[in-house]
């Protein structure tokens, strides 16, 4: 039986690349047939990375079958996984997010969850000496995952392990980190082809605050004006997206990678309260700038309150 390796429903670079990396390791090193799968369309940065390293985009699947072997990476949240994930045979989990709970397995499994910035960093360590056997495309994908998740080491989630590995991979590949990261972020910032609803769902997590359900969306960009010029239509679309997704509200944080700050769209009093209670912000209009806020995992979700 072929093992399916998959990440979450909003495939960014890490959730696109890490399944590819681990499927390579299982197949080529451990001799266990495995294939990377996606649960949605990868974002523009992830697609750039696939093209840059000559990799085919993995198949997009809607669900998993009962009993089939699955490795879950870059998430442990059932809400971000196929509807039938608890009927599948989950055999391993590799992640760097807080534990949510709700995943069920048929037997004890290998679980690795570590406080680093990127799933690919964990995978490199798990491979041990076999990591030296990675071909250039897998090394390049691993480097890309780390640069994406750390925002080229700007994110507060960055650890010495992430940075050291990225620098070693770049040196091995003959890649300039500043130049390559700039190319990646330029690709990520090109959102012209996406509808407002697609932008709001592109990089988002479901989160509960005081009994209210939120879709917490983050757009990381080197061109925040491109997104903020669409704020009126984005705020209108928040109502529809929330209704369709069973949420009370969508929160959209536009992260300026270069200025190292986030702008939160404030369409109503509920979001205004979230901004004031969570970040001590003073809200005077339909946006508020949050200096130093770069990471949903480390700075946004832990702070959210009403």
Structure tokens at 155: 């994110």
Tell me what percent of the residues of the chain surpass a pLDDT of 70.
100
CATH number of the structural domain 3-187: 3.90.1640.10
DSSP-assigned letter for residue 57: P
Instruction: Quick: pLDDT tens for 215-225.
Output: 999 999 999 99
Structure tokens at 214: 């939120």
Q: How far is CA 50 from CA 42, 43, 82, in A?
A: 10, 11, 23
Instruction: Quick: pLDDT tens for 241-282.
Output: 999 999 999 999 999 999 999 999 999 999 999 999 999 999
User: Taking CA 158 as the corner, what is the angle to CA 153 and CA 163, rounded to the nearest 5 degrees?
Assistant: 65
The reported pTM is: 0.89
Reported as a pLDDT band with limits 50, 70 and 90, residue 3 is very high
Instruction: Quick: pLDDT tens for 278-303.
Output: 999 999 999 999 999 999 989 999 99
What is the three-class DSSP state of 152? coil
Residue 202 has pLDDT above 90, yes or no: no
CB 11 within 8 A of CB 38: yes
Instruction: Quick: pLDDT tens for 12-49.
Output: 999 999 999 999 999 999 999 999 999 999 999 999 99
Per-position b or e across 183-196, b if 16+ CB within 10 A of its CB:
ebbebbbebeebeb
Residue 51 has pLDDT above 90, yes or no: yes
Structure tokens at 239: 């109502």
Structure tokens at 232: 């009126």
Residues 6+ apart with CB under 8 A from 238: 200, 249, 250, 252, 265, 267
Nearest by Cα to 69 from 103, 32, 96: 32
Residue 85 has pLDDT above 90, yes or no: yes
C-alpha span between 97 and 296 (Å, rounded): 11
CATH number of the structural domain 196-303: 3.10.310.20
pLDDT of 306 reads 87
Q: Domain ranges in the chain?
A: 3-187, 196-303
Instruction: Quick: pLDDT tens for 103-123.
Output: 999 999 999 999 999 999 999
pLDDT of 14 reads 96
211: left (phi over 0), alpha (psi -120 to 50) or beta: left
Structure tokens at 34: 């495995």
pLDDT of 61 reads 97
Phi–psi pair at 226, nearest 5 degrees = -60, -40
- The average pLDDT across 227-233 equals 96
Number of neighbouring beta carbons within 10 Å of residue 285: 7
């Amino acid at each position: 039986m072929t093992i399916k390796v998959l990440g979450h429903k909003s495939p960014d670079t890490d959730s696109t690349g890490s399944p590819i990396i681990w499927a390579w390791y299982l197949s080529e090193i451990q001799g266990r047939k495995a294939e990377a799968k996606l649960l949605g369309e990868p974002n523009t940065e992830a697609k750039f990375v696939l093209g840059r390293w000559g990799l085919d985009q993995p198949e997009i699947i809607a669900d998993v079958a009962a009993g089939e072997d699955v490795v879950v990476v870059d998430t442990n949240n059932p809400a971000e996984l196929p509807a039938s994930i608890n009927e599948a045979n989950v055999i391993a989990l590799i992640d760097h997010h807080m534990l949510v709970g709700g995943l069920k397995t048929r037997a004890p499994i290998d679980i690795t969850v570590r406080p680093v910035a990127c799933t690919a960093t964990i995978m490199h360590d798990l491979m041990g000496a076999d990591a030296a056997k990675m071909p250039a495309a897998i090394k390049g994908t691993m480097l890309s995952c780390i640069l994406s998740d750390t925002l080229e080491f700007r994110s507060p989630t960055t650890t010495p392990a992430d940075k050291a590995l990225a620098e070693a991979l770049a040196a091995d590949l003959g890649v300039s980190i500043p130049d390559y990261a700039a190319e990646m972020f330029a690709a990520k910032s090109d959102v012209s082809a996406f509808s407002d609803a697609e932008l709001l769902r592109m990089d988002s997590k479901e989160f509960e605050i005081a009994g209210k359900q939120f879709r917490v969306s983050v757009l990381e960009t080197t061109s925040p004006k491109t997104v903020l010029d669409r704020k009126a239509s984005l705020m209108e679309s928040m109502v529809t997206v929330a209704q369709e997704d069973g949420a009370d509200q969508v929160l959209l944080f536009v992260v300026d990678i270069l200025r190292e700050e986030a702008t939160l769209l404030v369409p109503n009093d509920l979001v205004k309260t979230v901004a004031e209670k969570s970040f001590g912000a003073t809200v005077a209009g339909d946006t508020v700038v949050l200096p130093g806020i770069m990471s949903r995992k480390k700075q946004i979700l832990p702070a959210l309150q009403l």
